[in-house]
Structure 1
């Protein structure tokens, strides 16, 4: 695996773009979990709807004639691929979140992103123990720590290679 950080650097530091990508993924974390649970519960139903319904009639609007069964198979394979990507993303995000050293930052990221509360709800939850500005700073520090861990384990290189 080729490392993308400077020579002689023991720990990787995520770029602004990688931090933004991490924030985007953390913002989508609860949505990914919901869609994964739904797919796990209703995979058979999704396959049948694909075959019976109009979703698979034409995947590409330029098709003059479409084979509904083939398109339904393509559709379910795409859904499985998305499920696998979401599974990979959520496991890597959970792993990186658990490795945050600062307990306050780890708890703030957990409450904000992993549990899915808004920034305002997170600030209100931690208000007794910390000031508003400290909570915001802890969320940002935790976000940066997650991005740095993802960079260190090669997440961004794999993510870039697939897209």
Structure 2
């Protein structure tokens, strides 16, 4: 794992693209958790539906004849692969979230992304304690902290998907 950091840099700083990738993953966090729970609860049902259903009949619409069993196996493996990727993403995000040093930023990120509230709802929730601009800054600082932690632990090198 080759990490490219600036000369004399002890802790890596995430670049704009890595911060955007982090924000994207945080935006999708609650969806990923919901889909993972659904997959865990109904994996057997999903496999049965895939085998019996029309989804496995033809993966490629140009196929005139398709092996339904083989295609069902491919779809089941794809579902497992997506589940594993979501597990990886959510685990790393949770880990980086726990390492945010600023308690207020951690709480703002928790409410905004981990619990899944909108930016407006988050601002309204914290409005008694902070001004709107302070809350926005705390959220942005928390996201940047998560991105920096992800960079430090090598997440972006492991995340082989193109963003």
For Structure 1 versus Structure 2, the TM-score category normalised by the shorter chain is over 0.9
> How many Å separate the matches in 1 of 2:66 and 2:34?
31
Q: Aligned pair count?
A: 162
Query: What is the Cα deviation at residue 60 of structure 1?
Result: 1.3
1:24-103 matched pairs, under 5 angstroms: 24-103=24-103
Q: Structure 1: 5+ residue runs without aligned partners? A: none
Query: What is the Cα deviation at residue 7 of structure 1?
Result: 2.1
> How many Å separate the matches in 2 of 1:129 and 1:32?
31
1:1-163 matched pairs, under 5 angstroms: 1-160=1-160, 162-163=161-162
RMSD of aligned Cα (Å): 0.8
Deviations 1:44-96 (A, max 9, x none): 11001101110111111122210111111110000000000000000000000
> How many Å separate the matches in 1 of 2:97 and 2:79?
27
Deviations 1:8-28 (A, max 9, x none): 100110010000000000000
> How many Å separate the matches in 2 of 1:125 and 1:61?
49
- So what's the TM-score if we normalise by structure 2? 0.97
> How many Å separate the matches in 2 of 1:4 and 1:63?
45
> How many Å separate the matches in 2 of 1:93 and 1:127?
26
For the residue of structure 2 that corresponds to 1:55, the secondary structure is helix
Q: Structure 2: 5+ residue runs without aligned partners? A: none
Query: What is the Cα deviation at residue 145 of structure 1?
Result: 0.4
> How many Å separate the matches in 1 of 2:139 and 2:98?
14
> How many Å separate the matches in 1 of 2:40 and 2:60?
27
